[in-house]
Structure 1
Amino acid sequence: MGSFLTRMRIFRPLFILLIATSGLVAQTPKPELISPQVKAAVEKAVGWLIRQQKASGHIVDEKSDSKPKRGDLPSHSAAMTSLALMGLASVGHMPDDPTPEGQACGRALRYVVEGIEPDENGYLGRSDRSRMYGHGIITLMLAEMIGHAPDEATDKRMQGMLKGAVQLILRSQQVPKSEANRGGWRYEPSSSDSDISVSVWQVMSLRAAKNAGFEVPKEGIDNAVAYIKRSYRVERDSNGNPKSDAAAFSYEPYGGRQTFSTTAAGLLSLQVCGQYDTPEVLGSANWLLKSPPEINEPWFFYGCYYYAQGMYQRGGDHAATARQKTEQTLIAAQSPDGSWYPRNGNEKSAGAVYATSLALLSLSVHHHFLPIYQK
């Protein structure tokens, strides 16, 4: 997918089986039990992420702690802080908790809410220059944190920001596009093309906002689902039915790379939209079962997040296999300080906060704290 900084300038054009190592449980854990190894990994990761928090509340790799200005935040700091906040919340640390971890999450949420200055259209990706990637990530975080603000003023501002952010996503979807690209999103609100990587964050945001009680027209979800399905690469018969029971999603409709990360993204996004038993869901889950990811492959951490959550939604052997592979690989790869660091060149420039946040989201499947990932 090219250089991470080139594609995203961290969120510019933006997911597992090593042999079991000593101390890891080789057999699949019981469905709803969280193993001691996973608990220990999660606790270390939480501690590491919180230690990266700056005085202003943002959670980033950079060592500088200069005071940001509202509307002109350090590059991608709101998007990265939102990703970290989702990772922390996914294992039970909410911004309204009185614990030290909860207080850190509250400071992170205030940084995003007070630091971003939405434009007149509700765009959240301008203040930290994270564009539509950041807009989707921040919007998803706000939707998941509704009801957990640390104070009334933050809650009120969250509500207004989220309403405007949802409207921006819907307006951006309605920009005139070709048939192939219709229903999706890309790097800017005005983009006339689409890709699955940017689109999935917007789909997740719309679904989460709807879950939180915000108005999201059915047409918006339906058009997004149709776009994602057009990215499913399989030969079909004369009736439009897939000829194979295992196939991948591509980066763009009818073309582009078919990878672990794009396939996992397509799988999860369709399921959060209620598409649990469509051919695209069944086929992509089967493809992932046959093509497990390796930690050194491109976009491993990004894909692992979608893989763990998407296969969990599928259930059965898909969920059990993905859980074992996710847990074994991530536990084996965790640094002694509790962090994870990307190994592939495409992700290295994103840094450890990015990788650790996504690893936490990948390991949090059975915690059930964030509504968007619940069955």
Structure 2
Amino acid sequence: MVRRFMAAMVCAVVSGTMLVPAHVSGADTANKAYEPMVNRAIEFLTTKAQDADGAYNAKAGPAITALVTAALLRHGRSPADPQIAKSLKYLESFVRADGGIHAAETSHKNYETAISLVAFGLANKDGKYDTILKAGEKYMKSLQWGATDGKAPSDVEYGGAGYGKNKRPDLSNTSFFIDALKATGNGESDEAMKRALIFVSRCQNLETPNNTTPFAAKKPDGGFYYTPAAGGSSQAGVDEETGALRSYASMTYAGLKSMIYAGVAKDDQRVVAAQKWLAKNYDLQSNPGMGTSGLYYYYHTMAKTLDALGQDKFVDEKGVAHDWRQEIIETLAAKQQPDGSWVNENNRWMEGDSAIVTGYALLALSYCKAK
């Protein structure tokens, strides 16, 4: 016990955050809002947002349906439930002969396939989707920069995933790619995971042996941005003083989560620096660096990352210990619409669509349940 306590204290000192033993929970069970909130959201999705064929926002292809289905499955709905079964059948209609799971003319092949694989993985309780998962995994890996296209580890695109092979890889797509690798049983020793970690490391504002891009040393605050490829880009813009690609919270959580899934140790300087940036920018009213743009994507990614870290309390830069699970529950309870949905008044990245936003909210809440 003493050794464990001392190890936790050392980690807290090194990282700037405090790891709290798992038995000290956010205790969502004590929050009477949690179950009614989740139930209202599920009722909205399954009775008001779902089309007759099981789709959610069919014009957007399979990705939103897959995301919502994954959220419902994570909240205990069975693959045999009529609404879930319809959605899974709808997703099956997008399965291609080469293993891809996407609309015919889409430029979002990695994105759609990755999210669909997560949904099928959660539904695969009896091996029903083994063939789809195996073929989809192989297809998705073939899209990765550096897998079959001759890219070398020295190329900035190496290891990344993007919306299409004729475009640049980016951290958001690579994060979904890593989620799908994990969902199909790939761990840190998988070659695709190792390649992905190389790209993820290059999306961080931190110069290390893993990141020698021109952007790394301009403003080494430890946060993450969208992509170093094709000249580099951050959705948060460029720092006028240094020329750095600005860090922002949703990508910093995505980068940190991806590193954890890829097996990077919690005392690694990349992980430590990312946590320090997040401690400085802890916020539940905005996506720091982006305002309200992508706010619900942010909530989902934040909750998933903090759960992966195993931290029940997150200590911010000022030393305030946040019960992040309880705070996310309370924040989402206050934002839920009377019909059970959530929607972002800022429509950027489709967050004006109540189906995808409610899916993000439910996914976030699924990581807020007491362990």
TM-score class normalised by the smaller sequence: 0.7 to 0.9
Residue number among 255, 263, 268 corresponding to 1:274 in the alignment: 263
Residue in structure 1 matched with residue 180 of structure 2 by the alignment: 205
User: Relative to structure 1, is the Cα distance of residues 349 and 307 closer, same or farther in structure 2, using a 3 angstrom cutoff?
Assistant: closer
CA distance in 1, matches of 2:294, 2:166: 24
User: Relative to structure 1, is the Cα distance of residues 170 and 317 closer, same or farther in structure 2, using a 3 angstrom cutoff?
Assistant: same
- Uncovered stretches (5+) of structure 2, i.e. residues with no partner: 1-23, 235-246, 316-321
User: Relative to structure 1, is the Cα distance of residues 93 and 208 closer, same or farther in structure 2, using a 3 angstrom cutoff?
Assistant: same
- 1:340 is paired with a residue whose SS is coil
Query: What percent identity do the matched residue pairs reach?
Result: 23
User: Relative to structure 1, is the Cα distance of residues 182 and 243 closer, same or farther in structure 2, using a 3 angstrom cutoff?
Assistant: closer
TM-score scaled by structure 2?
0.75
TM-score scaled by structure 1?
0.74
CA shift at 1:44, angstroms? Answer: 0.8
1:116 aligns with 2:87: no
CA distance in 1, matches of 2:124, 2:220: 39
1:264 aligns with 2:242: no
CA distance in 2, matches of 1:239, 1:123: 31
CA shift at 1:103, angstroms? Answer: 2.4
Residue number among 133, 142, 162 corresponding to 1:162 in the alignment: 133
1:106 aligns with 2:81: no
Q: Residues 107-134 of structure 1: CA distance to partner in whole angstroms, max 9, x if unpaired? A: 2112211x1141x432212348343211
**Do the aligned partners of 1:90 and 1:367 also contact (CA within 8 Å) in 2?**
no
CA shift at 1:362, angstroms? Answer: 0.5
**What does 1:12-51 correspond to in 2, within 5 Å?**
30-34=25-29, 35-51=31-47
Aligned length: 310
- 2:78 is paired with a residue whose SS is coil
CA shift at 1:366, angstroms? Answer: 4.0
- 1:210 is paired with a residue whose SS is coil
Residue in structure 2 matched with residue 141 of structure 1 by the alignment: 119
Amino acid at match of 2:233: G
1:195 aligns with 2:170: yes
Residue number among 310, 317, 327 corresponding to 2:313 in the alignment: 317
Amino acid at match of 1:176: G
Structure 1 stretches of at least 4 aligned residues deviating more than 6 Å after TM superposition: 237-245
User: Relative to structure 1, is the Cα distance of residues 365 and 349 closer, same or farther in structure 2, using a 3 angstrom cutoff?
Assistant: closer
Residue in structure 1 matched with residue 365 of structure 2 by the alignment: 363
User: Relative to structure 1, is the Cα distance of residues 246 and 40 closer, same or farther in structure 2, using a 3 angstrom cutoff?
Assistant: farther
Residue in structure 1 matched with residue 156 of structure 2 by the alignment: 180
CA distance in 2, matches of 1:327, 1:33: 8
Residue in structure 1 matched with residue 301 of structure 2 by the alignment: 306
**Do the aligned partners of 2:342 and 2:361 also contact (CA within 8 Å) in 1?**
yes
**Do the aligned partners of 1:81 and 1:108 also contact (CA within 8 Å) in 2?**
yes
CA distance in 2, matches of 1:267, 1:249: 9
Cα root mean square deviation, aligned: 3.1
CA shift at 1:243, angstroms? Answer: 12
CA shift at 1:238, angstroms? Answer: 12
Residue in structure 2 matched with residue 67 of structure 1 by the alignment: none
Residue in structure 1 matched with residue 14 of structure 2 by the alignment: none
Residue in structure 1 matched with residue 194 of structure 2 by the alignment: 222
- Uncovered stretches (5+) of structure 1, i.e. residues with no partner: 1-28, 61-73, 97-101, 150-154, 369-373
User: Relative to structure 1, is the Cα distance of residues 56 and 231 closer, same or farther in structure 2, using a 3 angstrom cutoff?
Assistant: same
**Do the aligned partners of 1:249 and 1:262 also contact (CA within 8 Å) in 2?**
yes
Deviates more, 1:161-170 or 1:31-40: 31-40
Residue in structure 2 matched with residue 92 of structure 1 by the alignment: 76
User: Relative to structure 1, is the Cα distance of residues 107 and 232 closer, same or farther in structure 2, using a 3 angstrom cutoff?
Assistant: same
CA distance in 2, matches of 1:191, 1:321: 43
Amino acid at match of 1:234: L
